[in-house]
């Protein structure tokens, strides 16, 4: 049995609840209704027949306040609540850092990285160049560090890849989504990059100049262009549309549950095998693009080139 520890909980992010239930295969209905994220009990109940990942279990949880960790543990049937993240070292085989506050990722992951505990870090891995380089250096030194948006593994992206091959050269891709650049643009970027086969980005420009109404212009080294639109005050939903020489393709990502489960299956596979099938260079490419968009916004919309 692969034992996992999970760390939470950042504002607006219920992944300690949902991920633990998906892995462990069961949950307390009443307590999950109290988790503060109404969508989670809805999709867990709708997909109850596929809950659980064989040979893996979340056995330990830590949150910044013990009463939160205790509620997560009771809701997702996690046996142990720890008083510090470091207590998990030696007690679990790997760790899920289920927080999406990227400014805290490096400091929270460091004790596990230093102790050679494999770790999966929620999106986005980093939001500044120094943190991205820290993780890149550790991966180069042989540490097993994983990170991705669940949209990399969405049913829609996986199905669309087969159709994309017949459309010829991709000229333009447009992604639209809700919320913010810091925490949610990574979803729309990584879904796009994954669909396209992770082409290297050449340069990025933040063209709207307004946080909360973020519009990014991206040029890829293969000549394709993209725009990503991330708006706080729009209805949930969004789009990912590809315009190519011989046709267009609109991607429906499908429900969050399938993407999360696909992602967790792949993460647990990597923990078991001691290596990731997602090359870190792909993670670095998409995170570097996100960071370049932030740098462009902070510098009046100038074009930011990415290192080849």
Paired residues of 215 in beta bridges: 229
Which residue in the block uniquely carries the two structure tokens 């960071």? 291
Straight-line distance from the first to the last Cα atom of the chain, in angstroms, rounded to the nearest whole number: 41
Residue boundaries of the structural domains of the chain: 2-150+259-278, 151-253+287-305
| pTM summary value | 0.97
On whether the CB atoms of residues 226 and 237 are closer than 8 A, the answer is no
Q: What is the mean pLDDT of residues 159-181?
A: 96
Q: What is the mean pLDDT of residues 280-291?
A: 98
pLDDT at 254 over 90: no
Q: What is the mean pLDDT of residues 30-57?
A: 98
pLDDT at 103 over 80: yes
CA distances from 293 to 46, 111, 288 (A): 37, 30, 9
Provide the CATH topology of domain 151-253+287-305.
Dihydrodipicolinate Reductase; domain 2 (3.30.360)
pLDDT of residue 236: 87
Sequence-distant (≥ 6) Cβ neighbours of residue 175 within 8 angstroms: 188, 189, 191, 192, 226, 227, 228, 229, 238, 239, 240, 241
Encoded tokens for 146? 């994983």
When pLDDT is cut at 50, 70 and 90, the band that residue 308 belongs to is low
Calculate what percentage of the chain has a pLDDT beyond 70: 100
Q: What is the mean pLDDT of residues 210-235?
A: 97
Which residue, 59, 61, 111, 68, is CA-closest to 82?
61
- Tens digits of per-residue pLDDT, 52-97? 999 999 999 999 999 999 999 999 999 999 999 999 999 999 999 9
From the options 3.40.50.360, 3.40.50.720, 2.102.10.10, 3.40.50.300, give the CATH code of 2-150+259-278. 3.40.50.720
pLDDT of residue 191: 97
Encoded tokens for 186? 């990574």
Give the separation between CA 215 and CA 206, rounded to whole angstroms. 6
- Tens digits of per-residue pLDDT, 117-167? 999 999 999 999 999 999 999 999 999 999 999 999 999 999 999 999 899
């Amino acid at each position: 049995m692969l034992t996992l520890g999970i760390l939470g909980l950042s504002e607006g992010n219920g992944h300690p609840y949902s991920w633990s239930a998906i892995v462990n295969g069961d949950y307390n209905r009443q307590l999950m209704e109290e988790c503060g994220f109404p969508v989670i009990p809805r999709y867990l109940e709708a997909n109850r027949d596929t809950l659980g990942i064989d040979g893996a279990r979340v056995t330990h949880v830590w949150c910044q306040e013990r009463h939160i960790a205790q509620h997560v543990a009771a809701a997702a049937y996690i046996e142990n609540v720890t008083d510090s993240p470091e207590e998990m070292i030696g007690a679990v085989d790997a760790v899920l850092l289920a927080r999406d506050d990227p400014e805290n990722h490096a400091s929270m992951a460091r004790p596990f990285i230093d102790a050679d505990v494999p770790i999966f870090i929620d999106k986005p891995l980093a939001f500044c160049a120094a943190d991205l380089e820290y993780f890149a250096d550790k991966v180069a030194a042989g540490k097993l560090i994983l990170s991705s948006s669940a949209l990399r593994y969405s049913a829609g992206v996986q199905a669309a890849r087969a159709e994309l091959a017949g459309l010829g050269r991709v000229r333009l891709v447009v992604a639209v989504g809700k919320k913010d650049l810091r925490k949610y643009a990574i979803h729309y970027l990584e879904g796009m990059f994954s669909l396209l086969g992770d082409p290297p980005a050449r340069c990025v420009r933040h063209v709207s100049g307004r946080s909360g109404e973020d519009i990014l212009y991206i040029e890829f080294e293969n000549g394709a262009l993209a725009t990503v639109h991330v708006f706080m005050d729009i209805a949930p939903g969004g789009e990912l549309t590809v315009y190519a020489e011989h046709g267009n393709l609109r991607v429906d990502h499908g429900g969050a549950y399938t993407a999360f489960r696909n992602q967790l299956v792949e993460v647990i596979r990597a923990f078991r095998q001691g290596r990731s099938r997602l090359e870190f260079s792909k993670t670095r490419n998409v995170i570097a693009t996100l960071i370049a968009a932030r740098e462009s916004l902070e510098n009046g919309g100038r074009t930011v080139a990415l290192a080849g």
